[in-house]
Chains A and B, each alone.
Chain A
Amino acid sequence: MSGMNYKNPGRNRGQGRDVAVTDPLGNNTEIGRKLKQYYDELVTPDIPDRFNDLLKELEKHEQPQTVTEE
């Protein structure tokens, strides 16, 4: 449980000297960049109506504070 090998063992790039450990998925790595590019493309800002409608619906059925059965 001690975070002793936070850094990928056997790969000493000598960059972050102390606390600043080289981020293996940082923007200076190809995998890191592609991962973010892939994900950013999936995060579309517009929210489909179905979710808006759903939340409105849920709010209408707002239940009292008491916790009901599962």
Chain B
Amino acid sequence: MTEPQSFRDGLLASVPTLRAFAVSLSKNADRADDLVQETLVKAWDKQASFQPGTNLKAWLFTILRNEFYSQMRKRRREVEDSDGAITARLSVHPAQDGSSDLNDFRKALELLPEDQREAIILIGASGFSYEEAAEICGCAVGTIKSRVSRARNRLQDILGISGEGDFGPDPATSQITTTIVA
């Protein structure tokens, strides 16, 4: 027997982190909130399939992610445009602008392919385990690991951070280098 009240509270409590994930996926605050809305509706409809006691956050992230990719496919079909053009147009930075350091980081993150970006966010920021992230993304744990690792290398390249654990050079000197370390 489900208790709608507590399920509802769980959804509501997850909104802040869902919004954060949605912004990092879609790179657009308005679109992110639409994604969250869609996620909540879907989650509500599917609540019978949620097993109480399991990870609600991971379950919601899975729904949000699926919704994001299905919307993206729809958009791609609608707008027969190059991916780059679409991405460029959708790319809107959130109003709050932190340090320029953080802005550089945000820009670098946006340069990553979606699969790498989501992987590094799930692991490095949202606090999921590799296993959970693999489940959310519907892929193998090893795939997540390699995406995270590629994402990290790419970010280090772009931001001019020499190696993990190092305090990199002044961020002002960071420039987009497209040296890809295979």
Q: Is the CB of B168 within 8 A of A39?
A: no
Q: Is the CB of B124 within 8 A of A32?
A: yes
Interface flag for B50 (CB, 8 Å)? no
Contact of B120 among A30, A35, A51 (CB under 8 A): A35
Q: Which of B1-48 contact A (CB under 8 A)?
A: 4, 8, 11-12, 15-17, 19-20, 23-24, 33, 36-37, 40-41, 44, 48
Interface flag for B164 (CB, 8 Å)? yes
Chain A residue with minimal CB distance to B145?
Answer: A6
Chain A residue with minimal CB distance to B123?
Answer: A25
Q: Is the CB of B149 within 8 A of A47?
A: no
Chain A interfacial residues counted at CB < 8 A:
36
Q: Is the CB of A39 within 8 A of B16?
A: no
Q: Is the CB of A31 within 8 A of B12?
A: no
Q: Is the CB of A25 within 8 A of B148?
A: yes
Name the A residues within 8 Å of B106 (CB-CB): 38
Q: Is the CB of B125 within 8 A of A11?
A: no
Q: Is the CB of A42 within 8 A of B19?
A: yes
Q: Is the CB of A58 within 8 A of B124?
A: no
Q: Is the CB of B96 within 8 A of A24?
A: no
Q: Is the CB of A42 within 8 A of B4?
A: no
Name the A residues within 8 Å of B15 (CB-CB): 47, 51
Can you list, as one digit per residue, whether each of B99-121 has a CB less than 8 Å from chain A (1) or not (0)? 00110011001000000000011
* Contact-residue size bin, chain B (C-beta under 8 Å from the other chain): 35 or more
Q: Is the CB of B40 within 8 A of A34?
A: no
Contact of A25 among B23, B124, B161 (CB under 8 A): B124
Name the A residues within 8 Å of B168 (CB-CB): 30
Contact of A31 among B44, B96, B161 (CB under 8 A): B161
Contact of B40 among A6, A28, A51 (CB under 8 A): A51
Interface residue ranges, B against A (CB under 8 Å)? 4, 8, 11-12, 15-17, 19-20, 23-24, 33, 36-37, 40-41, 44, 48, 94, 96, 98, 101-102, 105-106, 109, 120-121, 123-126, 140-142, 145, 148-149, 152, 155-156, 159, 161, 163-168
